Structure 1
Amino acid sequence: MTKPAIQAVVDQVLAANKGKRVVSFEYEGKTYWLKQTEQLTGAMRLLKSQPGQSLQLEIATLQSLAQKGAPVPELVAFGDNYLVVADVGSPVNHWLDKRSDSDMQAQILKDSAIGLAKLHQKGLAHGRPALRDICWKEGEVSFIDFEANQKDTDIEKQQVRDLLVYIHSLYRYIGPHPELVEPAICAYREAGGESLWQASRVRIRRWQWLNYLIAPLKTIGGKDLRPVYWLLKHFASA
């Protein structure tokens, strides 16, 4: 059987980049990313095991999620030690760092929230939808690095966790600016996420007492602690 034209390019990239974890290349005007099995050295061989198995699991996950209609990068080629996906743009947190205008950044944030709501409406969960794991390109949102197990028995619990992680990430990268964060959360709710937002509100109610302890740290705490204050405040004031 004749190989697809892109496979010949992939073979060339593999030969020229042996051992490199991730490299990008161009083909017919489009960008693709080649990811190879992680090459472990020294103590990392003890800390991480079976990198080849991890890569194959990632391939299987991309295939399964694509079949379910999830917005994931297109898997265009793969083998025993590599996979190739189409480029899906920069992570949302990178767009916040770029010199794009504030209106565009606000739209990207809303798009990311709507994308998460649509993912949840498909009965799926991400596991850790921080802004660095949500990519945006020309109005299209894609998710990378899924961690959820997608079990039907606990999918709502995972989706609630998704939303809490997402809101925490908004405040982590944007800072204490509800005027920027709240429109994104509203976009999630209006795109079909209202019931999960309400479930998140109920779940986090028992943790509101924490704000009395961390309020003094809301401006001086660590980058992961500060957003907790604003996450709790969002649901407390809603």
Structure 2
Amino acid sequence: MWLITGASRGLGRAFAEAALAGGDRVVAAARNVAPLEELAGKYPDHLVSLSLDVTDRRAVVAGVQRAADAFGGLDVVVNNAGAMLYGMVEEATEEQIRAHLDVNFFGAVWVAQAVLPHLRARGGGRLLQVTSMGSGGGMATVGFYGAGKAALDSVSEALAMEVEGFGIKVTIVQMGGYDTGLFTAGMTTTEPLAQYQPLRTEMEAMWGDALAPEPHTAAPVIMELAALPDPPRRLIIGSQSFDHVLQMDRDQVELYRTWEQLSRNAPG
């Protein structure tokens, strides 16, 4: 049985459809479950829609219990709910920053905490923590998105070590760029400061107008990942994204090597 958060659109919806097509049962959680009505009609015995705001910790605990009760337990949990805060670091308000991290970081933590007792009681399970190919470093205009995903990366590494002894496998799923609606329906935008307009224009040109792949093209990889007896702790999703991440890692190593002597001038 699958529990998927952020399942009403984008990647979450694609993962839910793939699991259902494979004969699995799914609890699809989202703030607004109305978009799931058609899917529920198609799979009345295999899909349960769950209205859930992941930023509400008490609601998450109660919602996860309802999800476990729906089909008698949890096997695969996809921690996918997320949003985008677009703008320069200086431009973002305290309210925007806190609201963003409440979804992308704290919400994911609340879900992980709530599902662990259920997975442990079954003697194991899979927890897929959806982060980003860009979580290894910050980038202008999407700094807080990267920050939330980087924090989730770090916590998930620790979590994987903590729960492995219970038979629970945690995988950090570093998603590439897909046409998920994250930059439209899922986006909050800062109030632009004129001083950053040249950089904003440069970044928009860099993003370009190239069409991103449809979310359903990533779903087969997630299905295969969930079925692996010994899954990796991290997995990059997307061929181009794989190349980008490797290049970022090479650049980081080169930077460290360039300043190695200065680093070694201090003990410790």
User: Is the shorter-chain TM-score for this pair beyond 0.5, marking a shared fold?
Assistant: no
TM-score by length of 1: 0.30
TM-score by length of 2: 0.28
Q: Which has the higher contact order (CA 8 A, sep 6+)?
A: 2
